[in-house]
Homo-oligomer: A and B are copies of this chain.
Amino acid sequence: MSICGLLVNGTTGEGLSLNVQERKQLAEEWLCQGKDKLDHVIIHVGALSLAESQELARHAAAVGATGIAVLAPFFFKPTNKDELIAFLQKVASEAPAVPFYYYHIPPLTAVKIRVEELLDGITEQIPTFRGVKFSDTDLLDLAQCINKNEREQFTFLYGVDEQLLSALAIGADGAVGSTYNYLGQKNNLMLQAFAKPDLALARKYQFLTGEFLNFVTKLGFGVAQTKAVMTFVSGIPMGPPRLPLVDASEEFIIKAKAKLESIVWPDSD
């Protein structure tokens, strides 16, 4: 298991801060660049407007996305499973040959419908359903999802990076998260250690990733700050975030860089 795919126009990519035209452009560009190098290029097509979401789904299908993902609408919120499924179904059916993923992120959407319930019978409504990006700390829900759907081979990708090891322990298939844009190699080493299993080693990687995230969280850590870290780690300028996000401060960058460089990883011996 290793991380070799991409979620385009998701949270880190500020997909919801772009207009439809910009989202299409980005999808095209990533599919063009990534197709040969990545196993998965999943396009996030969620939007507050069903009409927009459908338009983006059709476009993603047309330009060859290997999957589409949708989060729950969150101005008007679905209040039960049926309302959420109805919305997702209307999007998925616009791309009937493209694998569909539900992007569960209640800390941002405040939509707390349990995924375990959502999945009950979902392929009858959405035949293209393939899995979930699960960005929540309710691991009972995640464990039930994994357990009940084993034979159907859905994929469960975990999105709370600071506790990925805990999700792996109950059977998560992998991860999608912003941390892997700059600590991807360390994370792969954690995945390898877990697979052996060498839990003591896996735990060290998780602790150290957590140590960094814990540190920057206290400084104020969001997508703008993540981009600043990605920039100084990769050398590739990520550009400024879009309002309402504002650039990370110089002070943040200096402190975050010093912290990241101070970490002594197990494999650095």
Contacts and interface: CB of A to CB of B under 8 A. Distances in A.
Interface of A: 14, 16-20, 22, 48-52, 55, 72-79, 83-84, 86-87, 90, 108, 110, 116, 137-140, 143-144, 146-147, 162-163, 165-171, 197, 199, 202-203, 206-207, 210-211, 213-214, 220, 222-223, 242-246
Contacts of A110: 110
A76 B206 contact: no
A169 B171 contact: no
Contacts of A52: 19
B207 A16 contact: no
B139 A84 contact: no
Contacts of A137: 137-139
A167 B242 CA distance: 36
Specify which of A14, A116, A197, A214 lies most central, judged by the most chain B CB atoms within 10 Å of its CB: A214
A22 B52 CA distance: 11
A19 B19 CA distance: 10
Given A73-B243, A143-B207, 5 more contacts: A17-B76, A74-B74, A83-B245, A86-B246, A144-B207
B86 A243 contact: yes
Nearest to A48: B16
25 contacts: A17-B73, A18-B49, A22-B51, A48-B48, A74-B74, A76-B223, A76-B244, A76-B245, A84-B244, A86-B243, A87-B243, A90-B243, A139-B166, A140-B162, A143-B162, A143-B163, A143-B203, A146-B207, A165-B169, A165-B170, A169-B202, A170-B203, A170-B206, A170-B207, A171-B203
Nearest to A168: B169
A83 B244 contact: yes
The 9 tightest CB contacts between A and B, nearest first, are: A166-B166, A169-B169, A140-B162, A139-B163, A78-B244, A137-B137, A147-B207, A19-B51, A16-B75
Contacts of A83: 243-246
A164 to B, nearest CB: 10
Nearest to A199: B197
A169 B199 CA distance: 7
Given A242-B50, A246-B83, A20 B17 contact: no
A158 to B, nearest CB: 11
